Chain A
């Protein structure tokens, strides 16, 4: 098992390298620069000397390949560089955003799972019925609204009209603050999970071993508990993992809307400010999160499914 984790960890490196390269290439041709973003407010022209000095300070006057080399060399030493914008080490900029981001992703996934999986189950138990149609329609409806639109709707209803929940912000120790953004972010994975679960349950219910279990005279609840649930979980796990893994990157819009201090909003701000080291750093974190979660999913598979050998 350890060896498996080690190997998967090593496999992350090339993926990460390609990601870094892609981002680097894209942002080397992107119009606008960190310097020009300094005067984006259109108020005061920034001193030209200051700009030149800044360019020099951040090595932006060096050729592209040298910059890439420098960056990769730094990366190899776990150094993400210095943020153009804040002039702090990139890690210091990213680190405070990490926990809120993870929290939001997990909370959204929790919401998606506790709603989506039962919905899928309910739909699959009576395939073709109105219940099936209804639940699936509900699930799809959830993801048919643009995120920010859905988020605004939640704000209006639950914060303004009903006054149940705060409309924005992050509080380290408050569950109330996370509910609305988590729901807004969780709808789309919820719909996906409901679908996957439905398909999975249908699949498993049609499996030969369920027929065997029926032939053994098991009651339906025992059948579902003992033979269906785990097998469905195996089918749903991939979706679950991919979703948790990608939620950090998908949270951009929601984070902006709810003033949630996550990696996503940092990323958008940094793209807008052309703070490339932070963009790189944030993307690396998002990608790492994805890869690590998927590694954990694989480990979980090994724990659940004896057919999968982990070597």
Chain B
């Protein structure tokens, strides 16, 4: 019951955000950058501007839609990078063990110890603001949990019969990791990634707040929110809607992740059985 409810709600919210992002160009009534009319800045929501206009006189609704594109790209791509790094390191470390495992473990600990926001901040300082930098900064700094999970799952899988059987049958280590181990840890890795998407969206907002986010005037929810924080009294809609968008996205992906986790959780499964 809970399972379905949260999972469905999560899926629904995530789907809304994804659709908004993918079809932004078709849905959005205005161009998010060029269609700026300073004369009509800070207009409250109306028929022409469903979510009002911001301080620059741009349509908040359109910018929220295009922002979905950016925020989703940030979330999905950076998590994809994280998942790939984490999984590759975690699986190989768990599978081979030995010095490589020690090395990966050490690196994971280092990554856990350095606050990811600080790390991302430093990388952004090097690469300069902008979407590609952001993807790299967030993609390189958040893989330690995935790595840990991939490693521990691999450790428990590698002594299971089917992995042993593949070894006995003569398959190479790479092949075994790819065909035997990877498909069986994709669940928990996916859960981590889903939860991470929300984290990345929030991290984008935090970095924007610190002045190193997406390159304006490209709209992202983070920099919309940062721009609008001064307008909270004068034009609350300029802040509320991107804030709401972040809220919905993070909530959606978190619910999705939790729901997936419950789905993979043997307790919950027996409960339903």
Direct A–B contact in the complex, CB atoms closer than 8 angstroms: yes
Q: Which residues of A contact B (CB under 8 A)?
A: 14-15, 18-19, 22-23, 26-27, 29-32, 127-129, 132-133, 136-137, 140-141, 143-149, 152, 156, 195, 199, 202-203, 206, 242, 245-246, 248-250, 252-253, 256, 267-268, 271, 283, 286-287, 290-291
Q: What sequence of 0s and 1s flags, for each residue 107-128 of chain B, a beta carbon within 8 Å of any chain A beta carbon?
A: 1011011110110011101101
A-B contact pairs, 7 of them (CB 8 A): A143-B250, A146-B202, A149-B225, A246-B112, A252-B115, A253-B117, A253-B209
Q: Is the CB of B198 within 8 A of A144?
A: yes
Most buried by A among B112, B123, B198, B232: B112
Q: Do B254 and A31 touch across chains, with their CB atoms under 8 A apart?
A: no
**B3 contacts A152, C-beta separation under 8 Å:** no
Judged by a CB distance under 8 angstroms, whether B247 is at the interface is yes
Q: List, in ascending order, chain B residues with CB within 8 A of A149's CB.
A: 205, 225, 229, 239, 243, 246
Contact B107 A18 (CB under 8 A): yes
Q: Do B114 and A283 have beta carbons less than 8 Å apart?
A: yes
- Using Cβ atoms and an 8 Å threshold, which residues of chain A touch B232? 152, 156
Q: How large is the interface on B (under 10, 10 to 19, 20 to 34, 35 or more residues)?
A: 35 or more
Q: A144-B198, A149-B225 are in contact. Are A15 and B109 (CB under 8 A)?
A: yes
Q: Within 8 Å of chain A (Cβ to Cβ): is B273?
A: no
Interface centre among A132, A144, A199, A246 (most CB of B within 10 A): A144
Interface residue? B251 (CB, 8 A): yes
Specify which chain B residues have a CB less than 8 angstroms from the CB of A22 in the assembled complex.
Answer: 110, 114
Listed from nearest, the 6 A-B pairs whose CB atoms lie closest are A249-B115, A144-B250, A146-B205, A128-B2, A287-B113, A290-B113
B34 within 8 A of partner (CB): no
Beta-carbon contact of A128 and B247 below 8 Å? no
Nearest B residue to A147, CB-CB: B206
Provide the bound-state CA to CA distance between A267 and B121, in Å.
Answer: 10
Contacts of A206 in B (CB 8 A): 267
Give the nearest-CB partner of B202 in chain A: A146
Using Cβ atoms and an 8 Å threshold, which residues of chain B touch A133? 2, 5-6
Residues in A whose Cβ lies below 8 Å from that of B1: 128-129
Q: Across the interface, which residues of A come within 8 angstroms of B209, CB to CB? A: 146, 148, 253, 256
| B122–A253 touching, CB < 8 Å | no
Contact B126 A145 (CB under 8 A): no
User: Which residues of the partner chain A approach B107 to less than 8 Å between Cβ atoms?
Assistant: 18
* Complex contact A146–B243 (CB within 8 A): yes
> Which residues from chain B sit less than 8 Å from chain A, CB to CB?
1-3, 5-6, 106-107, 109-110, 112-115, 117-118, 121-123, 125-126, 128, 198, 202, 205-206, 209-210, 222, 225, 229, 232, 239, 243, 246-248, 250-251, 254-255, 258, 265, 267-268, 271
* Complex Cα gap A156–B233 (Å): 11
Whether A144 pairs with B247 at a CB distance below 8 angstroms is: yes
B118 contacts A145, C-beta separation under 8 Å: no
Q: Which one of A29, A127, A141, A202 lies within 8 Å of B126 (CB-CB)?
A: A29
Are B110 and A15 touching (Cβ within 8 A)?
Answer: yes
A129 surroundings in chain B (CB, below 8 A): 1-2
Smallest beta-carbon distance B105→chain A, Å = 10
Q: Which residues of A contact B250 (CB under 8 A)?
A: 140, 143-145
A14 to B102 alpha-carbon distance, docked (Å): 12
How distant is the Cα of A145 from the Cα of B126 in the complex, in angstroms? 28
Chain A residues whose CB sits within 8 angstroms of the CB of B247 once the complex forms: 141, 144-145
**B251 and A141 contact, CB distance less than 8 A:** yes
User: In the complex, A186→B225 CA distance in Å?
Assistant: 21
A137→B2 CA distance, assembly (Å): 11
Contact yes or no, A146 B246, CB < 8 A: yes
Given the complex, which residues of A lie within 8 Å of B3, measured CB to CB? 128
B120 to chain A, nearest CB (A): 11
Which of B206, B248, B254, B255 sits near A148, CB closer than 8 Å?
B206
